[in-house]
Structure 1
Amino acid sequence: MQIRTATAGDWPGIWPFLREIVSAGDTYTWPRDIDETRARDMWLVPPPGRTVVAVDDDGTVLASAKMTPNQLGPGDHVANASFMVAPAAAGQGIGRALGAYVLDLARTDGYHAMQFNAVVATNTRAVALWRSLGFDVVGRIPDGFRHPTQGHVDLLVMYQRL
């Protein structure tokens, strides 16, 4: 597996699993019916943001992540990131490798910390992964997410000083 900067040519490999994950409605705060153009604009971020992909030896996109400043101006020293692993590639350590890569990328880019603003509390695999990579839960938004099967569940704010 290789992790590299995403190109516009990677979008056709990202869109199918991004659409599947978002439309499931259980882990992302995006509209479940997001159209492809809006999703592409939100995922393939302009500088200073970065989008990366994890690809196999054949060039198949297995996962992707995007990183941007969490805030503008005086808050732009804290990074924010989002991650998606193709469901068919889940459980193979790709998310962990991508997470470690993006944390290193954030350090290289001069960020002082990384913050996740909305980790769905019922997404226990993601919460466990981020904790294992050094993130702490620093806040909780009670009932901040409408889960399609579990009703209102909490959103977690997770943070790591870099």
Structure 2
Amino acid sequence: MPIRQAAADDWPRIWPFWHRIVAAAETYAWDPDTTEEAARALWMSPAKRVYVAEDDGGTVVGSAYLTANYGGPASRIANAGFMVDPDRTGRGTGRALADHVLSEAKALGYTGMVFNAVVETNPAVALWASLGFTVLGTVPEAYEHPRHGTVGLHIMYRAL
């Protein structure tokens, strides 16, 4: 699966699934009413390295970003976000993006990666665990899930 650094003109291909995922309010602790302008500023920030995964026909089917989670003396710890078009899940896109971003993070000198708010009912928790992430802790009853009610948010970590 081709994965490359995103260009500014990739945003119109990312936005439809980004919006669909965030508006569903099941996996991201971001405002479901985020405007396209705010979403673009959040996802495509110059402080982030953004990647896209394409299918064989060149359609963008997923995206990820990589950035420092902290600043200063703690800037060696990375953070990342991942989104896969809901119509394209179950085809290895998330794993391919994760492998790519973990490799990039290590090559850039990061020594670990942390996810700050993984909704505990998110199916991706199993993917992160299979890639060596552990749950450092869970903030109980921190997330209002539309189907499961109040659920926790995991803080997950993996050394690189």
Fold similarity call, TM over 0.5 = yes
Deviation (angstroms), 1:64: 0.2
Structure 1 equivalent of residue 42 of structure 2: 42
Name stretches of at least 5 consecutive residues in structure 1 with no aligned partner. Answer: none
RMSD: 0.8
Matched, 1:64 2:63: yes
Structure 1 equivalent of residue 93 of structure 2: 94
Deviation (angstroms), 1:152: 1.1
Structure 1 equivalent of residue 29 of structure 2: 29
Structure 1 equivalent of residue 139 of structure 2: 141
Please give the secondary structure, in 2, of the residue aligned with 1:23. helix
Give the counterpart of 1:129 among 124, 127, 130: 127
Deviation (angstroms), 1:99: 0.4
Query: How many pairs were matched up?
Result: 160
Please give the secondary structure, in 2, of the residue aligned with 1:9. helix
Name stretches of at least 5 consecutive residues in structure 2 with no aligned partner. Answer: none
Structure 2 equivalent of residue 118 of structure 1: 117
Structure 2 equivalent of residue 2 of structure 1: 2
Percent of aligned pairs with the same residue? 52
Aligned-partner Cα distance in 1 for 2:153–2:82: 16
Moved over 2 A (4+): none
Matched, 1:84 2:83: yes
1:50-79 deviation digits (Å, cap 9, x = unpaired): 000001232210000011100111111100
Give the counterpart of 1:153 among 129, 151, 160: 151
Contact 1:45-1:66 within 8 A present in 2 as well: no
Q: TM-score, normalised by structure 1?
A: 0.96
